[in-house]
A and B are shown apart, each in its own frame.
Chain A
Amino acid sequence: MPESKGRFGIHGGQYIPETLMNAVIELEGAYNNYKNDPGFNAELNTLLNEYAGRPSRLYYARKMTEDLGGAKIYLKREDLNHTGAHKINNVLGQALLARKIGKTRLIAETGAGQHGVAAATAAALMDMECVVFMGEEDTKRQALNVYKMRLLGAEVIPVKTGTATLKDAVSEAMREWTTRIGDTHYCLGSVMGPHPFPTIVRDFQSVISKEIRQQIMEKEGRLPDAVIACVGGGSNAIGSFYHFIGDKSVRLIGCEAAGQGADTFETAATINTGKLGIFHGMKSYFCQNEYGQIAPVYSISAGLDYPGVGPEHAYLHDIGRAEYVPVTDDEAVDAFEYLSRTEGIIPAIEAAHALAYAIKIASEMDKDKIIVITVSGRGDKDCAAIARYRGENVSE
């Protein structure tokens, strides 16, 4: 009898071509073998600490707190990691795992380019070959990251099919994996795709909430009242939520990219506007038309511009444990500018979605409440695009 694996409630599973099944089974076996291996974990921790710069800071945003006049605001500074985003946490784990099972080549998809840069970085460090698939549209929006990946020795393949954005990059990476499995590991960048990826990526990203918990206990002696993170596929969000899921007093809030608005077609707010479906290896919520054709989604943020959401988020939504709220382009851009001006921190436009929602609710909360916002990445990569959004022509 067949047994479906990797379920989060009704979500998850392994909806992939037969050609890939033994590859994901091999990966699952390897992961189960190494995840509790002291040697593997020691090696990974050394990399995270010495190379990626962990633990990342939990910074008390005093000026923002005073300005908003409500809840006390802490920022989890994933932007300070090596390569400038949370993506490195997952990539170091997966690259190390891939090397242990004899793979010499990493392939990856990327939207904003942050995961691609992280994958290229890990590949350079671990002497692996690296090929990154990136929607052609995104290679234009994030030209600097394309250059960085090449500088790091990776090959960047612009994907021209479909909408030429993140979903097409994922499809193309999956196609490439079916072509070459023997020496190649598909280093998926988010908590999505077929089992075991949603679990592996969550585990590698859960270092974020593990640290937040410890750091907030040291600073405040208690748990926060809310943890807020942006959600595309949802890896920094699940990483920020994971060690708080059992603590019902902690509100978990995921901020989806609403683009021009969750009531328009120009949106990527999957949980708010999508419906249950099966795509990219998983059952979850997807933006799609009535016949199941995946919708072309839109967000100013290339990293959140994805029509699906990780299955564990879909489950946390179903059971009401986490809230998922839409944040528009305009709101995110305002927050991008606000944090830069107020705290001297330029956040990634993805993270600006989480900041925007925090700005909305913080002032309505009492002063003895505590909010933690994960700043998933830094915003250097977005400066030119935001300038253009504001009508200024800045060349990179």
Chain B
Amino acid sequence: MSRIADVFKNGKAFIPFVTCGDPDLETTGKIVSAMAENGADLIELGIPFSDPIAEGPIIQEANMRALSGGVTTDEIFDFVRRIRKKVSIPMAFMTYSNIVFSYGPEKFIAACSRTGIGGLILADLPYEEKDEFEPLCKKYGIDLISLIAPTSENRIAVIAKEASGFVYIVSSLGVTGVRSEINADIGAMVKLVREYTDVPCAVGFGISSPEQAKKMAGLADGVIVGSAIVKLVAKYGRDSAPYVGEYVRNIKENIR
């Protein structure tokens, strides 16, 4: 079993997201430490992409801020190498296929393995295209995370059967962002996934408040929060780490 699956062994997992290099990698480093110190179980590190088609305005803007700061994939790997000396928390990358493809899939996935990145979430890589990277992920022991959406319906079985690490349950139609209500029947989706796999389920997209997190944690094995954290980074910039830490602690306490 990979380190990512271990994340879910001690109760409900909290998985916060941050875009690397927003506004610079030094800040990202402080944020990652604050997340780890305040109870995060797995950290999702976003590698910025110029045209992130699954993101709402909040994370789109974070990508733009990071890229205008000039951050590159090489610098992000160096950053992970450095931060690994300070934190032992499991980490996964969240990005888009072209970032991995253009770097050279094997070079990228081998570097993940060397730097202690346990999982890879690619927002534009559905089940049908996973052969693009999955054989390499298996070779290097990286979990290529499968996503399931409210529209997946009959696809859930085939996707779940081959899932590894965790299953990322997309809570809502549309792109990432902060939502006041989550209407999809998450409970039913999780139930269906569990018919086909023992791999844990984490719910993301749209979750921001502790109440929402608590509710979603009740239905699944973990909760992913992105936009709500990125909003704090947008607001407080280089000083955002303590605010993110406080937010992470609050969510973690609510889903315990």
Cβ B173 vs Cβ A4 within 8 A: no
A-B contact count (CB 8 A): 129
B250 within 8 A of A: no
Residues A152-179 near B (CB distance < 8 A)? 161-162, 167-168, 171, 174-175, 178-179
Cβ A291 vs Cβ B102 within 8 A: yes
Cβ B98 vs Cβ A279 within 8 A: yes
Distance A168 CA – B173 CA, assembled complex (angstroms):
20
B67 within 8 A of A: yes
Residue interface mask B130-171, A partner, CB < 8 A = 1: 111000000000000001111111110001000000000010
Cβ B98 vs Cβ A2 within 8 A: no
Q: Using known A-B contacts A162-B50, A175-B53, A279-B51, determine if residue A292 contacts B126 with beta carbons closer than 8 Å.
A: no
Measured between beta carbons, the chain A residues less than 8 angstroms from B128 are: 2-5, 13-14, 21
- Candidates B98, B100, B155, B159; contact of A288 at CB < 8 Å: B98
Residue interface mask B32-54, A partner, CB < 8 A = 1: 00000000000000000111011
Residue of chain A at shortest CB distance from B173: A179
Distance A288 CA – B50 CA, assembled complex (angstroms):
10
A19 within 8 A of B: yes
Distance A171 CA – B99 CA, assembled complex (angstroms):
17
Cβ A21 vs Cβ B175 within 8 A: no
Distance A292 CA – B53 CA, assembled complex (angstroms):
15
A281 within 8 A of B: yes
Q: Using known A-B contacts A17-B126, A19-B173, determine if residue A277 contacts B98 with beta carbons closer than 8 Å.
A: yes
Expressed in whole angstroms, the minimum distance between the Cβ of A110 and any Cβ of chain B is 17
Interface of A is mostly: mixed
Residues A100-140 near B (CB distance < 8 A)? none
- Candidates A5, A280, A291; contact of B53 at CB < 8 Å: A280
A67 within 8 A of B: no
Measured between beta carbons, the chain A residues less than 8 angstroms from B53 are: 16-17, 171, 174-175, 280
- Candidates A5, A162, A167, A181; contact of B173 at CB < 8 Å: A181
The 7 closest A-B pairs by CB, nearest first: A292-B102, A179-B174, A19-B149, A278-B97, A292-B98, A293-B50, A18-B147
Give me the interface of B with A, judged by CB distance under 8 Å. 49-51, 53-54, 56-57, 60, 64, 67, 72-74, 96-103, 123-132, 147-155, 159, 170, 173-175
